[in-house]
């Protein structure tokens, strides 16, 4: 509570997204085996994303990636700290951010087109314009001819494309994506990655992309933010200097690709050991060295 009060409503910045000292604490209720306690999901996260940048968040399960995305979306309030978009504090959900959730979360009672048009309906775009826009985005994700199908008639990869088209259709400047390709096979995944890069280059959106896969992170991102769990802390941001456009087969097999992959892998490997070691010895609050959040 105290943290919320001294956070300014606006800040001066060139960055598209500023994440400032975000801490998120869950109050766990008493269970049969454990007393009520606090669980620190995110601790002092600081992050800046430039306009048009593709930033990837990687981290093991439970390190707070989805929690951070919920805060960016405006669906959850941080315990302290704030998120700024274009220098304005985020206070709730709005149409300037599009989200693709973990799991497709399509509306099964709506056709592909109606799903894509959902945000436009909320935005009160007239029907005829809606149709032109949805045609455009259905084409962009390669689903021409499927506009009138229902989600249960689509494959997993196709559903994922619909979810992306739905998030893009109402033209948000920021796209927040939570493990969007986790549920599809390797082949489909690579083609979806290629497509996402193509769409990103065509539309110039700022993208914040969450994944478990180091390979995916390196292939897609301008920078990769590595999170470590217990509590969720930003360990390091790795800059990916691979040349663009990357959607050809050479990128993945290049030596540099392998090297960066290795580096991130090590960051993820070492971190949990260290913190677990500390956790056993000292109270949680002191277990996190202040340098860890750099």
Partner 1 sequence: MRLPAAVNSLLLRSSGVLIFLILWETAPRLAWVDPYFVPPLSIVVREIWLLLETGDLSRHLLVSSWRAVTGLSLALVVALPLGIILGRWLTGLASALEPLLRLLSQINPFAMLPLFLLFFGIGETAKVAVVTWVTLWPILFYTIIATRTVDPLQIKSAAALGVSRSEMLCKVILPAAVPTIFIGIRIGASLTFFILIAAEMLGAGSGLGWLVHNSAMNYLIPRIYAGATFIVLLGFLLNRLLLYIEASLSIWQGSQSGSPVAGQSRASSWRPDRGSAVAGTAILVLVLILGALEVRRLNQEALAGASSSSSHAKHFGTPADSSDGGL
Ligand X SMILES: Nc1ncnc2c1ncn2[C@@H]1O[C@H](COP(=O)(O)OP(=O)(O)OP(=O)(O)O)[C@@H](O)[C@H]1O
Q: Interface with partner 1 by CB under 8 A: which residues?
A: 73-75, 92-95, 97, 99, 101, 103, 105, 107-111, 118-119, 121-122, 150-153, 170
The reply on whether position 63 binds ligand X by CB under 6 A is yes
> Smallest distance, Å, CB 179 to partner 1?
13
Task: Select from 31, 61, 280, 291 the one that contacts ligand X (CB under 6 A).
Answer: 61
Task: Select from 22, 56, 66, 130 the one that contacts ligand X (CB under 6 A).
Answer: 66
The reply on whether position 103 binds ligand X by CB under 6 A is no
The reply on whether position 275 binds ligand X by CB under 6 A is no
* Nearest by Cα to 197 from 127, 251, 118, 271: 251
> Smallest distance, Å, CB 99 to partner 1?
5
The residue range among 61-69, 124-132, 218-226, 281-289 that interacts with ligand X, by the rule CB under 6 A, is: 61-69
Nearest-angstrom CA–CA distance, 284 and 294: 18
Which tokens in the block code for residue 45? 């996260």
User: Which sign, positive or negative, has the C-alpha torsion 130, 131, 133, 139?
Assistant: positive
Q: Interface with Mg ion by CB under 5 A: which residues?
A: 66
Nearest-angstrom CA–CA distance, 171 and 169: 5
The number of residues that bind ligand X (CB under 6 A) is: 14
Give every CB contact of residue 174 below 8 A, 6+ residues apart in sequence.
16, 17, 72, 85, 96, 97, 98, 205, 206, 207, 208
Nearest-angstrom CA–CA distance, 148 and 98: 23
The reply on whether position 65 binds ligand X by CB under 6 A is yes
Give φ, ψ of 176 to 5 degrees.
Answer: -105, 120
Q: Residue numbers of the site for ligand X (CB under 6 A)?
A: 26, 28, 39, 41, 59, 61-67, 102, 212
């Amino acid at each position: 509570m105290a943290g919320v009060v001294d956070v300014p409503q606006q800040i001066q910045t060139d960055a598209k997204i500023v994440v400032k000292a975000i801490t998120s604490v869950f109050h766990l209720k008493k269970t049969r085996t454990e007393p009520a306690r606090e669980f620190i999901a995110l601790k002092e996260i600081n992050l800046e994303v430039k306009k048009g940048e593709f930033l990837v968040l990687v981290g093991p399960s439970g390190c707070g990636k989805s929690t951070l995305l919920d805060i960016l979306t405006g669906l959850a309030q941080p315990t302290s700290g704030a998120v700024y978009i274009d220098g304005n504090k985020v206070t709730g959900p709005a149409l300037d951010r599009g989200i693709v959730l973990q799991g497709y979360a399509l509306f099964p009672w709506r056709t592909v087109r109606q799903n894509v048009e959902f945000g436009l309906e909320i935005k009160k775009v007239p029907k005829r314009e809606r149709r032109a826009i949805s045609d455009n985005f259905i084409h962009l994700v390669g689903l021409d001819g499927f506009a009138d199908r229902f989600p249960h008639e689509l494959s997993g990869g196709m559903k994922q494309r619909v979810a992306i088209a739905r998030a893009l259709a109402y033209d948000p400047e920021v796209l927040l994506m939570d493990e969007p390709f986790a549920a599809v096979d390797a082949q489909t995944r690579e083609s979806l990655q290629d497509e996402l890069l193509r769409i990103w280059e065509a539309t110039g959106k700022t993208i914040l992309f969450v994944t478990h896969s180091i390979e995916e992170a390196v292939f897609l991102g301008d920078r990769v933010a590595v999170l470590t769990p217990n509590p969720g802390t930003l360990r390091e941001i790795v800059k990916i200097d691979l040349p663009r456009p990357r959607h050809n087969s050479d990128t993945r097999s290049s030596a540099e690709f392998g090297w960066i992959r290795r580096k991130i892998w090590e960051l993820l490997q070492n971190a949990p050991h260290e913190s677990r070691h500390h956790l056993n010895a000292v109270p949680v609050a002191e277990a996190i060295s202040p340098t860890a959040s750099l």
